[in-house]
Amino acid sequence: GNAGGCMLTATATASRSNLFSSTGIDGFARRRASDVSRAPARVARSPRRRAMDANNEDDSALASSSSSQRWESPGYETLRLLVPELDSSRYHKGQAGKIGVVGGCSEYTGAPYFAAMSALRMGADLAHVFCAEGAGQVIKSYSPELIVHPYLREGRKEVTVTVDGEAVHAVTYDEEAVFEAMERVTPWLHRMDALVVGPGLGRDPTMSEIAKRIIAFAHERDVPLVIDADGLRVLMEDQGLIREGHVVLTPNKAELDRFSAQIARSRGDPPPTTTVARARYVTSQLDGPVVVAKGEADIVALDVIVESTDGAAMPYRRHLVCDEPGSPRRCGGQGDVLAGAIAVFLAWATRSKEAECAVVRRLADMDADVDTDVEDLIAKAGEGPEFALHPSLASAVSVVAAYAGCLVTRVAARAAFGRKRRSMLATDVIEELGDTMQRLFPVYADEG
């Protein structure tokens, strides 16, 4: 086991941990808690990723995969690498994370608030919300802590197109409104340490087009992305927007089912039939964004191509399962809380070359069977502002950040349910995030 590790993954036979009982928390804070289990993972049989592979491997088979095929889930010492120390002599406002949330329309104003406030309660310094003009004043009224930019626009245009010689009426976005919105939003995107795209976005075609362009802009410049809710719908419409790197998709069961089925239809593949297979299929067919399949247990999946020491391309297929007990109450907004939490861990993981490389080296130690020269890839990543990890390594770091977000959100939800039971709301989960972070990653009196 990992000394001081907090292995909170599941197999069918794994025992539950008392890590978050009063005695367990003390042990965790002192880095003495033992591993509970290791997450299963499979080694790809072929560089060619096909849905048939996924269909032939059901969830129970994956859970009982042999030890030689397992990837240890991140222990406490690995997760702790993500979290910056509080040191007022070294850091100024903003260096603990500036998180942007893209979403919020005239109908949905709560979701972006939940994601942004979760980021603040996690420990980010600043949270910005980029929303529709009609949502700005409402979101501002929820909290003075948020920086709200009502720059996005809603609207649609009726157009007539010719299909097979016949005139067809269609609805599209307002190009002028999209241009105006991007002109106002773009200067802010450079300042963000991570973006959440999708909470409260809605289905307006102009809002969707703006979100699509923000995703493309951010991904091209390696701004870490969490894509959730209607942001996933935008991605379904244009699957080439993203690939491997600092990108995490967070579909619920229904969204994952639709997304995987749509990709399978477009490629002529048989649709995958299990949750693990669907998550792995989506990450593989989109060339490596991390997929968090939310559910009774959260599955964090990655399937990318990496370069071996001899220069050959080889598949790197891993997944983790976070089954730390959460809340049995499924009130709205918990997915937005998770998106905000993952965004903060992504921002922290990428805060410096030293921080990100420390996580990469720890993962390399866990994956000794992978024939890749990590130090060579790190050396090629450059220095200073030009530093950019190989996308496959960036994806691996994003797996750890996503897992950490799942863990913290589940523990906070469990605490909130313990207090409120059937009346628990997303705001109650948000209120528990600070205490949860202190329990898992304590700040001591002499720190800062």
The DSSP secondary structure of 284-299, one letter per residue, reads HHTTS-EEEE-SSSEE
Q: How confident is the model at residue 371 (pLDDT cuts 50, 70, 90)?
A: low
Residue 2 clears pLDDT 60, i.e. is over it: no
Cα-Cα end-to-end distance for the chain: 32
In angstroms, the CA 118 to CA 70 distance is 32
Is 312 exposed, middle or buried, given 0-12, 13-18 or 19+ CB atoms closer than 10 A?
Answer: exposed
Residue 325 clears pLDDT 70, i.e. is over it: yes
In angstroms, the CA 231 to CA 233 distance is 5
In angstroms, the CA 148 to CA 136 distance is 6
Residue 16 clears pLDDT 70, i.e. is over it: no
Residue 154 clears pLDDT 90, i.e. is over it: yes
pLDDT of residue 97: 94
Q: How confident is the model at residue 365 (pLDDT cuts 50, 70, 90)?
A: confident
Among 294, 300, 301, 297, residue whose Cα is nearest residue 334: 294
Residue 186 clears pLDDT 70, i.e. is over it: yes
Exposed e or buried b for every residue in 409-426, given b needs 16+ CB within 10 A?
bbbbbbbbbeebeeebbb
Which of the residue ranges 235-239, 306-310, 444-448 has the most confident prediction, judged by mean pLDDT? 235-239
If DSSP codes are grouped into helix, strand and coil, which group holds residue 20? coil
In angstroms, the CA 398 to CA 103 distance is 22
* 25-36 pLDDT tens trace: 433 433 322 232
In angstroms, the CA 333 to CA 48 distance is 38
Question: Lowest-pLDDT range, 130-144, 162-176, 252-266, 274-288?
Answer: 162-176
Which carries the bigger pLDDT value, residue 127 or residue 362? 127
Asked if residues 247 and 227 have their Cβ atoms less than 8 Å apart, the reply is yes
Residue 48 clears pLDDT 50, i.e. is over it: no
Residue 318 clears pLDDT 50, i.e. is over it: yes
Q: How confident is the model at residue 95 (pLDDT cuts 50, 70, 90)?
A: confident
Compute the average pLDDT of residues 280-295: 96
Compute the average pLDDT of residues 117-135: 97
Q: How confident is the model at residue 51 (pLDDT cuts 50, 70, 90)?
A: very low
* 374-432 pLDDT tens trace: 788 888 888 887 788 888 889 999 999 999 999 999 999 999 999 999 999 999 999 99
Asked if residues 97 and 80 have their Cβ atoms less than 8 Å apart, the reply is no
Helices (H), 129-226: 136-142, 175-189, 205-220
Exposure on the CB side of residue 15, measured as CA atoms within 13 A: 6
Residue 39 clears pLDDT 70, i.e. is over it: no
**Averaged pLDDT of the chain:** 83
Q: Count of CB atoms within 10 A of residue 396's CB?
A: 27
In angstroms, the CA 284 to CA 289 distance is 8
Q: How confident is the model at residue 20 (pLDDT cuts 50, 70, 90)?
A: very low
pLDDT of residue 310: 65
Residue 8 clears pLDDT 50, i.e. is over it: no
Which carries the bigger pLDDT value, residue 231 or residue 54? 231
* Percent of the chain with pLDDT strictly greater than 90: 64
Residue 80 clears pLDDT 50, i.e. is over it: yes
pLDDT of residue 159: 85
Asked if residues 392 and 243 have their Cβ atoms less than 8 Å apart, the reply is no
Overall size of the chain counted in residues: 448
Q: How confident is the model at residue 436 (pLDDT cuts 50, 70, 90)?
A: very high
Is 307 exposed, middle or buried, given 0-12, 13-18 or 19+ CB atoms closer than 10 A?
Answer: middle
pLDDT of residue 309: 62
Compute the average pLDDT of residues 153-177: 89
Compute the average pLDDT of residues 160-166: 82
Q: What sign does the CA torsion over 116, 117, 118, 120 have?
A: positive
User: In sequence order, what are the residues at sequence separation of 6 or more whose Cβ sits closer than 8 angstroms to the Cβ of residue 309?
Assistant: 371, 372, 373, 376
Q: pTM of the prediction?
A: 0.85
pLDDT of residue 366: 74
Helices (H), 36-150: 51-55, 59-63, 76-80, 110-122, 136-142
